[in-house]
């Protein structure tokens, strides 16, 4: 007698040919979109989230409650707002454990922050953006803040430009062909030739400067970090308000940053 197709021993669900299985994937995709939107907004009311995503409140409420059961979202009763939960952080932390870079960088970041008095950051390349993965925050009242998980375009970031400067000409040309250089401030480098010239300067001096190119009133100095194979694995930077990180202070701060990048690179196995 032929085996029953519904048998669980065949390793597939009884409703294998049921097209409703596709809806499960769509529901998962919607749940991920909810998490991404909450991460971007910080927090939102149900109606605000529905308006932002163009979805019905009833649909999003079921998604939010399901995620809440897994601690992926939190609900503030007083404010009536939803936000990312601790469970999402625990899942995201698995990404950081994939590499020793973050753990290896922690003492370097702390020492860099203490030496400069400014916030020290660690970022890696993610697509055409910088993903900030660690930070040692300054004790100063006015400070730059790029929490782990934040993203910034490569062309308007100190770390981003330090990474771009390490790219080959062909790779950089492909990037410029597909990526609009979005202006964030009057200082953003939005012309390919201007960015290319700036990258050449970065290569020659060994560090990059974000001169209010992403946020007005904030300046950043960064350098690339390499590993034992000579590969660029990330970038390290200090960021602060232009009132403290003025033009005159750049050479001294750049010295601290490049030494920190060299120290971290050696810790990652790079040759001196």
The answer as to whether 199 is a domain residue is yes
The reported pLDDT for the residue numbered 21 is 52
pLDDT digits (tens, 9 = 90+) for 21-79: 555 678 899 999 999 999 888 899 999 999 999 999 999 999 999 999 999 999 999 99
Taking the model in full, what pTM does it have?
0.70
Residues 107 and 12 in one domain: no
Residues 39 and 174 in one domain: no
> Phi and psi (nearest 5°) for 75?
-120, 125
CATH number of the domain encompassing residue 219: 3.30.450.40
CA 167 to chain centre: 19
Cα(85)–Cα(38) distance, rounded to whole angstroms?
A: 10
- Pick the last residue of a domain from 71, 90, 109: 90
The reported pLDDT for the residue numbered 14 is 55
Contact 49, 82 (CB under 8 A): yes
Average pLDDT over residues 147-158: 90
The reported pLDDT for the residue numbered 22 is 53
pLDDT band of 90, cuts 50, 70, 90: confident
The reported pLDDT for the residue numbered 32 is 93
The answer as to whether 3 is a domain residue is no
Residues 170 and 189 in one domain: yes
The answer as to whether 1 is a domain residue is no
Residues 162 and 248 in one domain: yes
The answer as to whether 2 is a domain residue is no
| pLDDT exceeds 90 at position 237 | yes
pLDDT band of 138, cuts 50, 70, 90: confident
Indicate if the alpha-carbon torsion angle 212, 181, 201, 127 is positive or negative.
positive
Give the list of residues 6+ apart from residue 137 with CB closer than 8 angstroms, or none: 113, 119, 143, 145
The reported pLDDT for the residue numbered 24 is 60
pLDDT band of 137, cuts 50, 70, 90: confident
| pLDDT exceeds 50 at position 9 | no
| Site of tokens 């202070």 | 249
- As a whole-number percent, the residues of the chain with pLDDT over 90 amount to 71
The reported pLDDT for the residue numbered 268 is 87
The answer as to whether 272 is a domain residue is no
The answer as to whether 70 is a domain residue is yes
CATH number of the domain encompassing residue 26: 1.10.10.10
Burial class (CB in 10 A: 0-12, 13-18, 19+), 46: middle
pLDDT band of 241, cuts 50, 70, 90: very high
pLDDT digits (tens, 9 = 90+) for 160-174: 999 999 999 999 999
- Pick the last residue of a domain from 55, 90, 125: 90
Its domain, for residue 252, covers 99-267
Residues 16 and 85 in one domain: yes
Residues 138 and 257 in one domain: yes
DSSP state, 242? T
Q: How many domains does the chain have?
A: 2
| pLDDT exceeds 90 at position 5 | no
The reported pLDDT for the residue numbered 254 is 96
Cα(121)–Cα(124) distance, rounded to whole angstroms?
A: 10
pLDDT band of 269, cuts 50, 70, 90: confident
- Pick the last residue of a domain from 90, 112, 139: 90
Cα(83)–Cα(87) distance, rounded to whole angstroms?
A: 12
Residues 136 and 218 in one domain: yes
Q: Which residues in 80-118 are b (16+ Cβ under 10 Å) and which e?
A: ebbbbbebbeeeeeeebeeeebbeebeebbebbbebbeb
In Å, what is the CA distance from 211 to each residue of 129, 217, 221, 224, 253?
18, 9, 9, 17, 14
Residues 149 and 211 in one domain: yes
Residues 178 and 120 in one domain: yes
Residues 128 and 104 in one domain: yes
pLDDT band of 4, cuts 50, 70, 90: very low
Residues 145 and 218 in one domain: yes
The answer as to whether 127 is a domain residue is yes
The answer as to whether 227 is a domain residue is yes
Question: How many other C-beta atoms can be found within 10 angstroms of the C-beta atom of residue 75?
Answer: 15
Contact 172, 196 (CB under 8 A): yes
Contact 210, 165 (CB under 8 A): no
Residues 60 and 17 in one domain: yes
């Amino acid at each position: 007698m032929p085996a029953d197709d519904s048998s669980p021993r065949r390793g597939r669900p009884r409703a294998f040919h049921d097209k409703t299985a596709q809806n499960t994937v769509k529901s998962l995709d919607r749940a991920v979109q909810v998490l991404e939107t909450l991460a971007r907004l910080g927090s939102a009311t149900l109606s605000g989230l529905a308006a932002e995503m163009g979805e019905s409140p009833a649909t999003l409420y079921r998604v939010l409650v399901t995620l809440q059961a897994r601690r992926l979202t939190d609900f503030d009763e007083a404010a009536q707002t939803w936000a990312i939960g601790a469970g999402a952080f625990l899942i995201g932390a698995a990404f950081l454990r994939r590499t020793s870079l973050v753990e290896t960088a922690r003492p370097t970041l702390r020492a860099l922050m203490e030496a400069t008095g400014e916030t020290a950051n660690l970022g890696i390349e993610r697509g055409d953006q910088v993903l900030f993965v660690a930070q040692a925050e300054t004790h100063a009242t006015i400070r730059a803040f790029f929490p782990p998980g934040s993203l910034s375009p490569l062309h308007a970031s100190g770390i981003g430009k330090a990474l771009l400067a390490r790219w080959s000409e062909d790779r950089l040309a492909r990037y410029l062909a597909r990526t609009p250089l979005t202006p964030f401030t009057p200082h953003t480098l939005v012309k390919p030739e201007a960015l290319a010239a700036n990258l050449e300067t970065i290569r020659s001096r060994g560090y990059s400067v974000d001169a209010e190119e992403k946020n007005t009133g904030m300046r950043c100095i960064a350098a690339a970090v390499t590993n034992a194979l000579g590969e660029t694995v990330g970038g390290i930077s200090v960021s602060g308000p232009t009132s403290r990180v003025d033009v005159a202070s750049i050479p001294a701060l750049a010295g601290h940053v490049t030494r920190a990048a060299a120290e971290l690179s050696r810790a990652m196995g790079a040759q001196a």
